[in-house]
Amino acid sequence: MSATLTSYEPATGAELWSGGAGSAATEVAAARSAWPEWAAHSHAYRIEAVRRFANVVRKNEADFATLIARETGKPLWEATTEVGAVVNKVEISVDAYAERTPQRRMEAALGNKVTVRHKPHGVLAVLGPYNFPAHLPNGHIVPALIAGNAVVFKPSEKTPAVGEFLVNCFHEAKIPEGVVRLLIGGPDQGRALAGDPGIDGLLFTGSARVGMALHKQFAEMPHKILALELGGNNPLVVWNAKELEATAALVVQSAYLSAGQRCTAARRLIVKEDEADELIAAIRKLLDRMILGEPFAEPAPFMGPVIDNAAADHVQELWLNLMMKGAKPLARLDRPEKDKPFLTPGLIDVTDVRDRPDEEIFGPVLQVIRVQTFDQAIAEANNTRFGLAASLIGGSPELYDTFWANVRAGVINWNKPTNGAPSNAPFGGVGLSGNHRPSAFYAADYCAYPVTSVEGDRVRATISEGLTDPNFQED
């Protein structure tokens, strides 16, 4: 008998969803059985199918957004934007497939042709995160389906209801049930899916710790595609910024949207020493006005709780660890309700902390580092094993050019927040932030593989070297 998995609303603690854990082997077998027929359909047929899916999601927008808000705790306005991203992903993926994996035909000698076409891998496993439980896995699933793959999707054990809703939308759009399979479960089911011999690849969004474990596991399986979209210890550098209030707003957006539960959230604010106090005061004014509340509250909150009490406990432990190392709180990280995972936005000065932990604090915590020179700012920005997002606020075009050229990250912005990367561009990082397989617009790259063919309309062949002369006769 399968174990029961239960999902709770972070904001209320109420039970939201309950169901039995599935079998990875069963779901993979179903997907493998359905894959050949799906792959045999034309590209146009598959595009029409995912467009039907977009229409289904659009029709169910209100219910979908409500469910996301309830299961993640994020404000309803933010959940609604996530549903919009699910819909928009379809046309973006159609364009990406055409641009990234087009058919090419070239002339060769003697009337031959060289063609480049792409084939699907087969059955792809998708492991989704809880922070964007619809948008991020959908960013793998839709490109995979367009390319002709079947998919087994395991949502986070913390957001199974959203995962189930997403898969039901695919099925309601008449995409065969065997082509998009749902695997409910926790870490055990995730490990079983990753290790199932019937998958041809794994597309993962989540923590660097799990990503490294998957990388080791797949090291002995080079025949299987592995795409890792991991986290970041992202720097936000402020230098000679003239618009103080706008700068403070960008800092707050970067650090605290989604209660800091974005892989692109700013974790480190690196600021010029003589600008720091004024900027911190402006940030604190915004934090004092910030509404923290449940998803459907009026007026609407800026942020809700983190995903659960265990996550809140972990963020608080990391905050206390920084304080034990000598960090100075500028805005305290508090837990208004001890039995619920609401956290107030924390701001802490770690300039004088030696051996600062290089880790992703996945919650509403921003660390301030004061520096004297721009070279020091760049050095601090690169003082991490991660390399996902970085942003510069202020400075001249020449300074931004220097920043862009020297900072190691896959997303580098100027006068914009670190988060909110566009879906019509590649998204990914270096270091511990990914394995050089960026997602978003470049997801098409890992959902199909290129096949090069040299083709002739007739058989032509001679061997001109290394053979004896057929007309030669010995005396």
Just list the catalytic residues.
229, 263
SS3 state at 17: strand
d(CA 123, CA 225): 11
CA distances, 360 to each of 231, 262, 314, 381, 447 (Å): 7, 10, 11, 14, 28
Show the tokens assigned to 205.
Answer: 């969004």
d(CA 356, CA 372): 19
Q: Collect all residues with Cβ–Cβ distance below 8 Å to 56 and sequence separation of at least 6.
A: 169, 172, 173
d(CA 363, CA 365): 6
d(CA 135, CA 56): 15
CA distances, 370 to each of 77, 236, 272, 329, 406 (Å): 34, 12, 6, 14, 19
Q: What is the DSSP string of 394-411?
A: ES-HHHHHHHHHH---SE
- Amino acid letter at 209? R
d(CA 276, CA 367): 12
